[in-house]
Chain A
C-alpha cells in the first residue's frame, strides 16, 4: 500500500494504481476525453492533468502511477487554467452545429466539459472544423469537422472489435487525422458497422447514419402503410434516455414504448420478438437437418449482421457453416410485406413501409444488402437505433414517462420469453436449445433457465447438451465481441474441439450492448456491467411476463406456418426467410 495526499487529504492506495483510479475510488472527479479503462490509456488529451508537488510540469492522471508520499492537487488554479486552455484549443478546431448534432442530446462529453470549464466562445471563434470531410457509410459515418483526435475509436476498433478499420495518420504532426482508408466509404474499408466506435466517441464525429428523416417522410405519406417492429433489446434500454435506471424491468417501459410508436404515427405496431421465435424454428430446423444429414457443422448463427459482415470479409472460408436464415427483423419485414399486408389487409407490398427499431447500427447496412428483397420489394425500408427513436420521441414532445401502456393487437407482436432473451449474449442459443431439445427428445428440458449460457464476463461460453433418447452429445458455444470471435476462430482453425452449434454476436455482451443503444459514460458504468443489467431485464421478463417460454409454443408463429409458410424449412420459408451469404471485399492500407 502507498500513502498519498490527494487535495489535502491523506489516502491509502494500492501500489501501481494510477492517480485517476485512486481519485475515482475516493470520489474525486478528474475529467477525461481520451481515456478508456484498459482500452485507451494513452494520455493524449491532457484534460486529466494534475499538479504533483515537486514536478515542474503538469502530469496526466490517467497514466501516471502513484508513489508513496506523492502530493497531488487535482483542482489548483494552474490545473483548471490548463484544462480551460486545452479545451479552447480543441474548440478552435471543432464545428459547432450542436443543434443538429446526434450528440446534441446532452451526451457530448466535449460540450459538457466546455460548459463545466466556462470556455467562452470569444476565446475560440471562429471555430473551424479540423477537416472538412464526411466519410459516409450505410451503417455509420464520420464527420471530421468534429473530431478531437482522442483515438478512442482507433483503440476500440483495434482492441475490442479487432476489425482495425481506423488509423491515426500523423504524417503531418500539426494536422493529423483519424480515418478509415482515405477516400473510401466505411462500406469498402473493412468496417463491420458494429457501431462500438459511435458509443465511445466523445463528440458527434462518429454516429449512426440517420434514418429519422426518411421514416418521418414515410409516416407523412398517405399512400404508405407504415409498420414498425422493435428488437428484443430495445425494451431493455429505451427507458434510459428518459431517466429510467439501467436495467429497468421490461414491463415498466414496454407498454409506453408501444404507445409512443402509435403517437408517432406508425400505422401498425408489431414486435421483432415474434420473428425471434420464428428464427428459432428456422435455425433450429436447419441445425437438426445438418445433424441428421451430416451437413456442415458447427452451425453458426446469423442474427447479428455485424458478425455476418465479419465472417464475409475476414473469414469467408467458414461461410458454409453460417446459417442461411435471415436475421429476425429481415424475416419479419419479408412476412409483413409478402404475406400479412396483401393477404390480411389487402395492401400491395409496394405500399407497405417497414421500419425496424434496432439496438444495432449494422442493421442499417443489412437492409441495404442487395439480396434482402423479393421481386424488387425490399424486406425492410428503414432502421432506427434506440437512440434515434428516443430523439424522435423527444422531438415530437411526447411525455414518455407519463404515457399509458399500450398493447398491440397485431398477431406479429405476439412472442414468447425465448424471443425476448435474443437480445442478450447466449439468448439465441438458450432459446434454440429449449426448442431443439424438445423436438429431438419429444419432451421438454427439466429446467429451461440455462444459466451456463448467460453472463458477459467470458467472451466464449461453452456447454454440452446431452440428449439421452437421441444418443447425441451436442457441444455448443456462445461467442460475443471481436476478441471472442478471433479467439474462437483460432480454436476452430486448430481443430482443438468439436462444436456443433455456435452463437456469434458482433458486439460484446450481445444486442443489449449494441452500437445503437443509449450511451452510458464510461466513468458512470463499465460497458459489461451495462450489458449485464440490461440482459437481466430481459431474463426477468422471460420468467415473469410471458405465457410461454419456448419459441415453438408461439401460437402466432404456428398460425403463420399453417396459413402461409407450411412448415419450418419449407420451400416457401426458404424463399422468404433465408438468403445467401458470400465473401465481401474491402481495402485497407
Chain B
C-alpha cells in the first residue's frame, strides 16, 4: 500500500506539470499522506533543516488534520514548511515539497474544510 501511494503522489506532480487536473481521493487523503510521509522519512539523511525538521512537522500537522484538530494557523504553517522544502539540499526534500505543493493546491478544499 505504502509504495502505491508514493507512486501515486509522484504521478500527481508529473501530471500536474502536463497541466492535467490532478487530485488525491478525498476519502482517505490524510491517511494516504501520512503513509507517504512515513515512506519518505526512510530516505531522510538528517543533514539539511527544511527536510529533516520540516517533514516531521508536516507529519504532525497531517495528524492533526486526521483527527480534525487544526486551526487556520496550522494551515499557514503547513504552507510555509512545504514551500520551504524548495530550499532543501537534495531531491528527497525537494521532491516531497513539490508533490505536497500539488496536493495543497488541488485538494485545498479537503484541507480548508477541516480548519476550525
Instruction: Note all chain A residues with C-beta closer than 8 A to B52.
Output: 149, 173-174, 176
| Cβ A86 vs Cβ B46 within 8 A | no
Within the complex, what minimum Cβ distance (angstroms) separates A62 from chain B? 11
Instruction: Note all chain A residues with C-beta closer than 8 A to B114.
Output: none
| Cβ A57 vs Cβ B49 within 8 A | no
Contact with B along A40-83 (1 / 0, CB 8 A): 00111110010000001110100000000000000000000110
- A86 CA to B83 CA, complexed, in Å: 11
Instruction: Note all chain B residues with C-beta closer than 8 A to A175.
Output: 46
| Cβ B46 vs Cβ A81 within 8 A | no
Tell whether B81 is near chain A: CB-to-CB under 8 Å: yes
| Cβ B53 vs Cβ A93 within 8 A | yes
| Cβ B47 vs Cβ A44 within 8 A | yes
Tell whether A165 is near chain B: CB-to-CB under 8 Å: no
Tell whether A172 is near chain B: CB-to-CB under 8 Å: yes
Instruction: Note all chain B residues with C-beta closer than 8 A to A82.
Output: 50, 83-84, 86-87
Tell whether A555 is near chain B: CB-to-CB under 8 Å: no
- A85 CA to B54 CA, complexed, in Å: 9
Minimal Cβ-Cβ distance residue in B for A79: B87
| Cβ A89 vs Cβ B94 within 8 A | no
Contact partner of A46 (CB less than 8 A), chosen from B41, B45, B48, B83, is B48
| Cβ A170 vs Cβ B80 within 8 A | no
Instruction: Note all chain A residues with C-beta closer than 8 A to B56.
Output: 174
- A176 CA to B45 CA, complexed, in Å: 9
- A148 CA to B46 CA, complexed, in Å: 12
A interface: dominant SS? loop
| Cβ B81 vs Cβ A85 within 8 A | yes
Within the complex, what minimum Cβ distance (angstroms) separates B105 from chain A? 16
Instruction: Note all chain A residues with C-beta closer than 8 A to B81.
Output: 85, 89
Tell whether A123 is near chain B: CB-to-CB under 8 Å: yes
Within 8 A of A (CB), among B43-77: 43-50, 52-57, 73, 77
| Cβ B55 vs Cβ A174 within 8 A | yes
Instruction: Note all chain B residues with C-beta closer than 8 A to A123.
Output: 77
- A247 CA to B56 CA, complexed, in Å: 47
Tell whether A90 is near chain B: CB-to-CB under 8 Å: yes
Tell whether B88 is near chain A: CB-to-CB under 8 Å: yes
Contact partner of B49 (CB less than 8 A), chosen from A56, A81, A89, A172, is A89
| Given A85-B80, A86-B87, A89-B81: A176 and B54 interface contact (C-beta under 8 Å) | no
- A122 CA to B41 CA, complexed, in Å: 26
Tell whether B89 is near chain A: CB-to-CB under 8 Å: yes
Tell whether B3 is near chain A: CB-to-CB under 8 Å: no
| Cβ B89 vs Cβ A60 within 8 A | yes
| Given A85-B80, A89-B57, A174-B56: A58 and B46 interface contact (C-beta under 8 Å) | no
Instruction: Note all chain A residues with C-beta closer than 8 A to B42.
Output: 173
- A170 CA to B48 CA, complexed, in Å: 12
| Cβ B43 vs Cβ A81 within 8 A | no
- A148 CA to B49 CA, complexed, in Å: 9
| Cβ B80 vs Cβ A92 within 8 A | no
Within the complex, what minimum Cβ distance (angstroms) separates A452 from chain B? 44
| Cβ A86 vs Cβ B47 within 8 A | no
Instruction: Note all chain B residues with C-beta closer than 8 A to A170.
Output: 45-47
Minimal Cβ-Cβ distance residue in B for A83: B87
Instruction: Note all chain A residues with C-beta closer than 8 A to B41.
Output: 173-174
Within the complex, what minimum Cβ distance (angstroms) separates A176 from chain B? 4
- A30 CA to B76 CA, complexed, in Å: 26
| Cβ A173 vs Cβ B45 within 8 A | yes
| Cβ B86 vs Cβ A57 within 8 A | yes
Within 8 A of B (CB), among A80-130: 81-82, 85-86, 88-90, 92-93, 122-123
- A172 CA to B56 CA, complexed, in Å: 12
Instruction: Note all chain A residues with C-beta closer than 8 A to B80.
Output: 81, 85, 88
Instruction: Note all chain B residues with C-beta closer than 8 A to A173.
Output: 41-46, 52
Identify the interface centre among B41, B48, B81: most chain A CB within 10 Å of its CB: B48
Instruction: Note all chain A residues with C-beta closer than 8 A to B49.
Output: 44-46, 86, 89-90, 148-149
| Cβ A57 vs Cβ B87 within 8 A | yes
Minimal Cβ-Cβ distance residue in A for B55: A174
Within the complex, what minimum Cβ distance (angstroms) separates B40 from chain A? 10
- A119 CA to B44 CA, complexed, in Å: 26
Instruction: Note all chain B residues with C-beta closer than 8 A to A86.
Output: 49-50, 84, 87
| Given A92-B53, A92-B57, A173-B41: A85 and B84 interface contact (C-beta under 8 Å) | yes
Within the complex, what minimum Cβ distance (angstroms) separates A17 from chain B? 21
Instruction: Note all chain B residues with C-beta closer than 8 A to A43.
Output: 48, 89
Contact with B along A154-176 (1 / 0, CB 8 A): 00000000000000101011111
Minimal Cβ-Cβ distance residue in A for B41: A174
Minimal Cβ-Cβ distance residue in A for B76: A123
Within the complex, what minimum Cβ distance (angstroms) separates B93 from chain A? 9
| Cβ B83 vs Cβ A81 within 8 A | yes
Contact with B along A170-202 (1 / 0, CB 8 A): 101111100000000000000000000000000
Instruction: Note all chain A residues with C-beta closer than 8 A to B57.
Output: 89, 92
Instruction: Note all chain A residues with C-beta closer than 8 A to B44.
Output: 173-174
Instruction: Note all chain B residues with C-beta closer than 8 A to A81.
Output: 80, 83-84
- A220 CA to B63 CA, complexed, in Å: 55
| Cβ B46 vs Cβ A176 within 8 A | yes
Minimal Cβ-Cβ distance residue in B for A150: B49
Instruction: Note all chain B residues with C-beta closer than 8 A to A93.
Output: 53
| Cβ B87 vs Cβ A46 within 8 A | yes
Instruction: Note all chain A residues with C-beta closer than 8 A to B54.
Output: 85, 89
Contact with A along B85-104 (1 / 0, CB 8 A): 01111000010000000000
Can you list 29 pairs linking A and B with CB atoms under 8 Å apart? Answer: A42-B47, A43-B48, A44-B47, A44-B48, A44-B89, A46-B50, A46-B88, A56-B86, A57-B87, A60-B87, A82-B83, A82-B84, A85-B50, A85-B54, A85-B80, A85-B81, A86-B49, A86-B84, A89-B84, A92-B57, A93-B53, A149-B49, A172-B46, A173-B41, A173-B46, A173-B52, A174-B53, A174-B55, A176-B47
Closest 8 CB pairs of A and B: A173-B44, A176-B46, A85-B84, A170-B46, A89-B53, A58-B87, A49-B87, A173-B46
Known: A85-B83, A175-B46. 9 other contacts (CB 8 A): A42-B47, A58-B86, A85-B50, A85-B81, A122-B73, A123-B77, A149-B49, A173-B52, A174-B53
Chain B residues engaging chain A, CB cutoff 8 angstroms: 41-50, 52-57, 73, 77, 80-81, 83-84, 86-89, 94
